[in-house]
Chain A
């Protein structure tokens, strides 16, 4: 599964992160896994918004391998 990352998170861990996923995982579990993988950026990984198929997700939302997941740091448009 590919994870899209933006802004500072994209610069730090990459804009297109490959994440091995064979079954399903919740948003909460995904945060934990990514935090283990990137301990330096744990705080941002725990607090950023997560979008699944371009819709903001809740902590218990279930992610499937064919979903498009995006990590959304605090936005600053306008």
Chain B
């Protein structure tokens, strides 16, 4: 499962997508909208994506996790549109036979996502809005 969605993310569905009797460990990363950045209050965020390319890149990151870390399954869901404080912006689940691989694969997936996937956020706060 590699999706860009306008809808609320169903974290349980992302976790279920990587379940496998051969896997003894599932690691998740849940990214949520924070209320403070560098001491400044955020009211809400708006996410934009180059959707077709972003989904393709998520799939590519998933393939890298499987190959480089020996993980079994990867699922990534990223939400776009207007998100309020506390909303889930991204959910990643990685499963592997053992926990070490699952932790490493999950860490790699979120770091790589932040570097290469064409998604942008605009912060709306007390002193206006700006692209992060």
- Interface hub of A6, A72, A75 (most chain B Cβ within 10 A): A75
- A75 and B117 contact, Cβ closer than 8 Å, known pairs A7-B122, A7-B131: yes
Interface size class of B (residues with CB under 8 A): 20 to 34
Q: In the bound complex, what is the Cα–Cα distance between A54 and B117 (angstroms)? A: 11
A78 at the interface (CB under 8 A from B): yes
B108 at the interface (CB under 8 A from A): no
Residues of B within 8 A of A10 (CB): 48
Contact B78 A77 (CB under 8 A): yes
B13 at the interface (CB under 8 A from A): no
**In the complex, which residues 35-75 of chain A have their Cβ closer than 8 Å to any Cβ of chain B?**
51, 54, 56, 70, 72-73, 75
- A75 and B114 contact, Cβ closer than 8 Å, known pairs A6-B120, A7-B48, A7-B131: yes
Indicate which residue in A4, A51, A70, A77 contacts B120 across the interface (CB closer than 8 Å). Answer: A77
Contact B131 A73 (CB under 8 A): yes
Q: What 5 A-B pairs come out closest when comparing CB atoms? A: A77-B119, A7-B120, A54-B53, A8-B131, A76-B132
Contact A75 B119 (CB under 8 A): yes
- Interface hub of B89, B110, B116, B118 (most chain A Cβ within 10 A): B118
Q: In the bound complex, what is the Cα–Cα distance between A70 and B56 (angstroms)? A: 14
Residues of A within 8 A of B90 (CB): 77-78
Contact A73 B120 (CB under 8 A): yes
Residue of B with least CB distance to A53: B53
Indicate which residue in B50, B78, B121, B132 contacts A72 across the interface (CB closer than 8 Å). Answer: B50
Q: In the bound complex, what is the Cα–Cα distance between A4 and B118 (angstroms)? A: 12
